[in-house]
Each structure stands twice: as structure tokens, then as C-alpha cells.
Chain A
Amino acid sequence: MTAALQFRNLTLGYDRHPAVHHLDGAVEAGALVAVVGPNGAGKSTLFKGIVGVLKPLAGRIERGDLAPQDIAYLPQAAEIDRSFPINVYDMVAMGLWHRTGLFGGVDRKARASIEQALSAVGLTGFEDRAIATLSGGQMQRMLFARLLLQDARVIVLDEPFNAVDAKTSVDLFDLVQRWHGEKRTVLTALHDIDFVRTHFPETLLLAREPVAWGRTATVLTPENLLIARRMCEAFDQHAEECAVPTAAAPLPIAGKPQGGAAGLHSHDR
């Protein structure tokens, strides 16, 4: 198995305060990984880092041969302007961006795949509906249809089943399993521990620091969950500079020396 993503002593955060601290490890290509942890554990931060929206404070993410369009991302709270006058069909069609680009047309083949995606999420017949008229669950179905069209090798879902009913989550999870069956790499942030236990082979338990990562049964033990729960959520405004040497990561990027002379990583950019 080859790694789709590798984290090398990765620290991500805001204003020098780490939200994900010293994460090491690899996501195998084709893996189905649940990312679990309390609120503020850094799940969304990690995802933003993977997608490249957030630059690491230290360490790095190796994406191998993945191009930016190979990673599809469903944010926790999509910044969608629901009052915008656009219909479901056009919204879903945007998933074809990597094929159409700025000017490419939507040909018959593309239209067929849009219809397939709509029917896969159960939104056939909704093509002309304005997005403002969709319910929360229908909105999420529409976003999954767009993800389907993105045809990405790595799919990152940030709490995709929040605020949707049981039927919708079952339907949408079917798609996640379909992606898993197609050997795509899927990372999903979730809060439902029992659901993770039954459906996800691999789990990363995050509480700013990685608590455990591996087979779900060995990760989601009562002890580990307790550790994760005890993690303090608030930033310490007067936190000391972190003393763990950044140079712990092998293979420093040429020309970009990491860490300070004193062996501290100073988290500033």
C-alpha cells in the first residue's frame, strides 16, 4: 500500500497557537479513516490543512502525486450564500470544474453524469429548484452530488452527517462506502462513536495532540477517549514557545531550514 497523505511533525493552528500539534503518520491510499475528537480537537483544522486552505505553522503534509483537484473537500459549515439565485443543477455541475475549467462547455456526457449524480443522492426532479428552497438534508445531498462529480482520489468530509436525519445519513453513507469500494481515500470527521465503531476500519483520535491512530477497535478504548476528553479547549494566551524540536521530521525541505537555532520551533511565519 502506498500513502496518499503523509503528515510529518505537522503543526497547524491560528495566530501561532497550535490546533493540531505534532501530528505524524500516513493515510494509506484507499483508506476509510474516521477522525474523532471533542470540539476544538483540531479535526476541521487538520482538514483545512490537508486541502491547503491553511498553511502549516510547522512540519508539513506530503501529498505525493496528488494534484489540488484530486482532493475534494466538504467543509463543516459550507460558506454557501443560500439566497444566491442559482438552481440545484448548476450548483451540482460545478463539481465538473476540473474538467470544464473556466470556459469548457457542458456536453452530453457531462450532462449524463450530472443526472447520474443527482439520482445517486435522490435529488432527481430537483434540477430547477433554487438552492434557497432546499431543506438542510437536501442541501447536504446536493453537496454530495457535487462531490461525486469531482471524481477526486481523496475525499475529506467534515462532519457530513450533522443535522441530517437518519434516512439521509444512511443514504449519504452509502456513497461514502461506494467511494471506499472504488479505492478512493476518504477521511471523515464524526462525533458518533458507535457509528464509527461499526462502520470505519481505521480511526484517528485527535485532541489537539494525536491521542491514537490505527485500527478503530484499538483506538477507541475508554482510556483513550478519556484522555481526549480531558484536553483543554481554550488557547492559553501566554503559551510558551513549544520546545519540541521541529527537526524531528526527517527529510527537511531543501532551502527551507526548519526550527530556530536554539532548537525551538518558533511557529511564526
Chain B
Amino acid sequence: MIYDFLIAPFAEFEFMRRALAGTLALALGAGPLGVFLMLRRMSLVGDAMAHAILPGAALGFLVSGLNLFAMTAGGLIAGCVVALLTGLVARMTELKEDAALATFYLLSLALGVTIVSLKGTNIDLLHVLFGSVLALDDQTLVLIAGNATLTLVVLALIYRPLVLECVDPGFMRSVSRAGAPAHLAFLGLVVTNLVSGFHALGTLLAVGIMMLPAAIGRFWARDITKMIVIAAASGAVSGYAGLLLSFHTGVPSGPAIILVAGALYVVSVLFGQVGGLVRQALPQRHLEA
């Protein structure tokens, strides 16, 4: 019975196994990135970036149809251009990062919509918007897994400067010049993960597997390492449970995954060990000094 419910869908159907592999890989890479975005108070940057990617991906789609390479390249280029310009403007002018990003992603969005309207719309564009995690082919799966690997390796390389840039940017500048390149590499990873995520979850929901697990991690750990582990794990759990939910109830799988993550988030807000609402409300005797 339990087997039928929890394991059989994946044992019986290959497309479910592929979907599970894809979401697990996504969760592994996106969770840690989300934690850094959150700690840098850039939680909405992922969202803005996803909007910036959309026109690139749509352009790739219009040029060569549902072609993995064209859409990925389009998304990557659009995302990297916006990330790079944002970083440059924020570092070289008075404009702060959020304002710089807002300007560029809006421009990118407007440009993308203009291009799309020139060529006319297509119903398949819905794939780009909402993804198709149940139809991951070999190529896409390799792309997602490769990207997760790349993300973890690069994060390990830039971990120290990234943490230091977050906690004490002034000190970072005084001891090393690695801050700016680390930050750019980090933004690059955000872009590649969103691009890799949109194949499964669509451009709009790809941010969900990044930010919701990170926010969940914040409620269960006081230390960044644990936070990262919890984020990746809760992303993976959401992927698994979301696919099951989708399989048994017929809800679209992308939204189902994000909804499960949302449910975990609500539980964390209520019962989380670090600053959860219930814990705050419970009367606790204070300690001796």
C-alpha cells in the first residue's frame, strides 16, 4: 500500500524517474544559491533575473522552435548580459544593485515582448513559461545534472569570498580583490540555474525551487552551513513530494512541487526552531546569566 503510493509511480514510469532525477539535481544546486541570495537581501533578484531570462529563451524558441540548445543559449545570454550590466552599474555608479537590476530586467522584458510580438505568439510558448518536468529528455537531463555539478563546484571555489562579501564587505575589499569576481560568478550561477530550472519548472516557477527552500532553511539553522544543507534537502523533498502529489491528483507537476515547498515553508514559519511563531509565543523561562 505504502509502496504503491510512495514508490510505485517512480518504479513503473520512466518519465517519473526522469522528473525525479531532474528535480533532485535542481534542488541540489538551487538551494545553496537561494541561501546566499537571501542572506545578501537579494531574494527578489532571482525573480527579476527570471524575467530577464524569459525574452532570451523566447527568442531562442522563435528562431528554432523547442530546441534545447537555442533556448538555453538565448536564456543564458539574456541573463548574463543583465547580470553583468547590473554588476557593473552597481559597482561603478551611485545606483544600488536593486535599482540597477530593476532597470535592466525591465528593459530586457520589454525588448523580449517586442521581439515576440514581431513574430507572433505561439501556444508552445507555455512550455517556456511553465515548464514540462514530466517530459525531460536525455539532453535536458544531462544539462540539468551538469549544471548542478557546475554550481556545487563553483560555489565551493568562491565560498569564502562570497561569505566574507556578505558579512563584511569593507573588510573583504581591504584584504582581497576576489570579492567582485566571486560576486559576478555567483550571479552567473543564479542565471545558469534559472535557465536550467526553466526546462523543468518554467521561467516563472524556477525561482521557487531556489528561494522557498532557502527561506525554510533560515527557520531551522543559525549557521550558514546547516542552512545550506537544509535548503538543498527541503528542495529535494519538495521535488519528490510534489511529483507524487501531481501523479496522484493530476495537478500540473511544476506548480505541485512549488506548492509542497510552500507548505513546508508555512510549517517552518509556524514551528521553526529559529524564530518560528509558535516558539516565540511559547513562554520560556530565561536562563541564568
Interface residues of A (CB under 8 A from B): 51, 53, 68-69, 71-73, 75, 78-81, 84-87, 91, 94, 97-98, 101-103, 130-131, 146, 150
Contacts and interface: CB of A to CB of B under 8 A. Distances in A.
Contact of B168 (A53, A71, A79): A79
A84 B39 contact: yes
A147 to B, nearest CB: 10
Contact of B169 (A69, A79, A97, A131): A79
Given A85-B39, A102-B161, A78 B171 contact: yes
Contacts of B168: 78-81, 91, 94
Interface of B: 39, 157-158, 160-161, 163-164, 166-171, 173-176, 178, 221-224, 227
B171 A81 contact: no
Contacts of B170: 53, 75, 78-80
Contact of B163 (A53, A86, A101, A103): A86
Contacts of A94: 164, 168, 171, 175
Contacts of B173: 53
B222 A53 contact: no
Nearest to A128: B223
30 contacts: A51-B174, A53-B174, A73-B174, A78-B168, A78-B170, A78-B171, A81-B166, A81-B168, A84-B167, A84-B224, A85-B39, A85-B222, A85-B223, A85-B224, A86-B163, A86-B223, A87-B223, A91-B167, A91-B168, A94-B164, A94-B171, A94-B175, A97-B175, A98-B175, A101-B176, A102-B158, A103-B157, A103-B160, A131-B167, A150-B175
Contact of A86 (B167, B171, B175): B167
Tell me if B's interface is mostly helix, strand, loop or mixed. helix
A101 B182 CA distance: 13
A79 B173 CA distance: 11
A80 B171 CA distance: 9
Nearest to B169: A79
Contacts of A146: 171
Contacts of A91: 167-168
Nearest to B174: A73
A148 B53 CA distance: 46
A161 B178 CA distance: 30
Given A81-B166, A81-B167, A91-B168, 18 more contacts: A53-B174, A68-B174, A68-B175, A69-B175, A78-B168, A78-B170, A80-B167, A81-B39, A84-B224, A85-B224, A86-B163, A87-B223, A94-B175, A97-B176, A103-B160, A130-B222, A146-B171, A150-B175
Contacts of B224: 84-86
Contacts of A79: 168-170
A94 B164 CA distance: 8
B224 to A, nearest CB: 5
A60 to B, nearest CB: 19
Contact of A102 (B169, B178, B223, B227): B178
Contacts of A85: 39, 221-224, 227
Contacts of A150: 175
Nearest to B223: A85
A96 to B, nearest CB: 10
A98 B172 CA distance: 11
Contacts of A103: 157, 160
**Residue in A69, A75, A85, A130 with the greatest tally of chain B CB atoms within 10 Å:** A85
Contacts of A101: 176
Nearest to A87: B223
Nearest to B176: A97
A133 B87 CA distance: 32
A53 B171 CA distance: 11
